Amino acid sequence: MKKIFLIIQREYLTRVKKRSFIIMTILGPVLMAATIIIPIYLATQTNELKTVAVLDETGIFNGKFKDTDNIRFHYLTQDINTAKANFTRSGDHALLYIPKTEVTLPNNAIIYSENNVNINVKSHIKNVMSRQLEEMKLQARLRELQGDRENQVSVDDILRSIKTSVDINTLKIGDDGKESKSYTELSMILGMFAGILIYFFIFMFGSQVMRGVIEEKTSRIVEVIVSSVKPFQLMMGKIIGVGLVGLTQFMLWVVLTFIIVTAVTATMTSGSATQTATEQLLKQNQVNIQPEGQQIPVTPQKNGDELTEVMDAIHSVDFPIMIGSFLFFFVVGYLLYAAFFAAIGGAVDSEADTQQFMFPITIPLILSIILAQFIIQDPDGPVAFWLSIFPLTAPVIMMIRIPFGVPFWEVFLSMAILILGFLGTTWLAAKIYRTGILMYGKKITYGELWKWIRYKN
């Protein structure tokens, strides 16, 4: 066990210290951040005047939406269906609909629009709504407290009780006046993205395993090492070590991309969105709270995701399942294929000889990507089902399906079979590997590989 750890350590450290790893780690997030930031930047740059129709069934927000430099608000009194029907002809950018609530204060709203809603518009609406709601709650709370001067209530408690987050759903209205959730699109993007990521990960790091094995074989160090450790330990150590490199790179990409996006969007919006927080103000006046007549500024709901529509819609996705299953299929899918790659590396003498063996292994992966278009159209069909159960296609296909919602039993079945597949390929690969690494200068055929698999011990 100690030895396999040493091997993992070497495989890991020699790779993360490479210049190519460092360059990839920096370049990746920059590119990914750019693909996120540029659309946002373009969206915030438009100075075009936009009009928003407000249909407030609660009456709370009547007149509260003040016109800004590039947003004009006007209020409707029709019922929602008429408003929606008239929307396309009205020329408005968006229709804000705040449905009536019976008991509680309203904390959600729907924005209808023909195209994507401008991000500035959306965040402005959100700010105004939460400010208004917080103000109302604060005043109610303070009235309560005035009648009850005995009890010391901490400011933090008050703040916690009035903190309000507003949910805004975005719906599209087509020309026919029909609305469609734009989340399907998001599921598609998310599914494709996850599937393609797994595909690249398996290819990139799988072939790194293969090259590593070939390097050990051609440099003839392998025999020295297998006189100290079992070939299986060497193979698994390499697979795990390279896999950890991949995970490290992936994590760094996610974290760095997040940091870059947050930093850039924060500076982009700093002019419009930062105001003194309610918290700060209240803390300054800790002793005597004077609510009457005091302007209470509002905390802009500033989480990095506020600006991105995608992130907003992501609330509709089951996140723990998405992330959990992504990591699972990412890791186990890699392990399954890496065993194949290691076996190929062990069987051949140079990278030039790998072609004939690479081909059958890459077929299921490439097929997964080709079929992805089709799966996305019909994520619950029989083809999608069987391909997400078959272990060689499951990592990519299942990840494409998961954002659309897959029954638990299917996910678990797929995971169980994938683990069995991983054990099977590793067992098979180890047999080829341990014979192959000690074999030089021999033309390897499939018949030969079959012989190796049947050798005892």
Partner 1 sequence: MILFAADNVTKQYSGHKALDKVSIAVPEGKIFGLLGPNGAGKTTLIRIINQIIAPDEGALMFNGRKLEPGDISAIGYLPEERGLYKKMTVGEQSLYLAQLKGLTHHEALTRLKFWFDKFEIRSWWNRKVEELSKGMQQKVQFLITIIHEPRLLIFDEPFSGFDPINAGLLKEEILAQKEKGATVIFSTHNMASVEELCDDIALINKSKVVLDGSVREIKKKYKTNTYIVSFNSFDKPLESILPPAFQVLSEFSDADHRHATLKLPIDATSNDMIRLLLPHVTIYSVNERIPNMNDIFIQVVTNREVSEN
- Per CB under 8 A, residues contacting partner 1 are 3, 6-7, 10, 14, 215-216, 219-221, 223-229, 231, 438, 440, 451, 455-457
Q: Which is nearer to partner 1, 230 or 315 (CB)?
A: 230
Q: Which is nearer to partner 1, 115 or 350 (CB)?
A: 350
- Shortest distance (Å) from residue 436 CB to partner 1: 13
- Shortest distance (Å) from residue 339 CB to partner 1: 20
Q: Which is nearer to partner 1, 6 or 419 (CB)?
A: 6
Q: Which is nearer to partner 1, 14 or 62 (CB)?
A: 14
Contact 194, 317 (CB under 8 A): no
CA distances from 382 to 225, 397, 412 (A): 48, 12, 17
Q: Which helix (H) or strand (E) element contains residue 113?
A: strand 108-113
Name residues whose C-beta falls within 8 Å of residue 117's C-beta, 6 or more positions apart in sequence. 93, 94, 111, 170, 309
Q: Which is nearer to partner 1, 143 or 451 (CB)?
A: 451
Q: Which is nearer to partner 1, 81 or 457 (CB)?
A: 457
- Shortest distance (Å) from residue 435 CB to partner 1: 9
- Count of C-beta atoms within a 10 Å radius of residue 253: 20
- Count of C-beta atoms within a 10 Å radius of residue 63: 10
- Shortest distance (Å) from residue 3 CB to partner 1: 6
- Shortest distance (Å) from residue 18 CB to partner 1: 9
- Shortest distance (Å) from residue 206 CB to partner 1: 20
Interior angle at CA 179, CA 174 and CA 180, nearest 5: 100
Q: Which is nearer to partner 1, 237 or 379 (CB)?
A: 237
- Shortest distance (Å) from residue 250 CB to partner 1: 24
Q: Which is nearer to partner 1, 227 or 270 (CB)?
A: 227
Interior angle at CA 419, CA 444 and CA 426, nearest 5: 25
Name residues whose C-beta falls within 8 Å of residue 6's C-beta, 6 or more positions apart in sequence. 237
- Shortest distance (Å) from residue 209 CB to partner 1: 16
- How many Å apart are CA 332 and CA 271, to the nearest integer? 46
The alpha carbons of the chain give a radius of gyration, in whole angstroms, of 29
Burial call 188-199: b when 16+ CB within 10 Å, e when fewer: bebbbebbbbbb
Task: Report phi then psi at 323, rounded to 5.
Answer: -70, -45
Residue where the block lists tokens 């709901």: 301
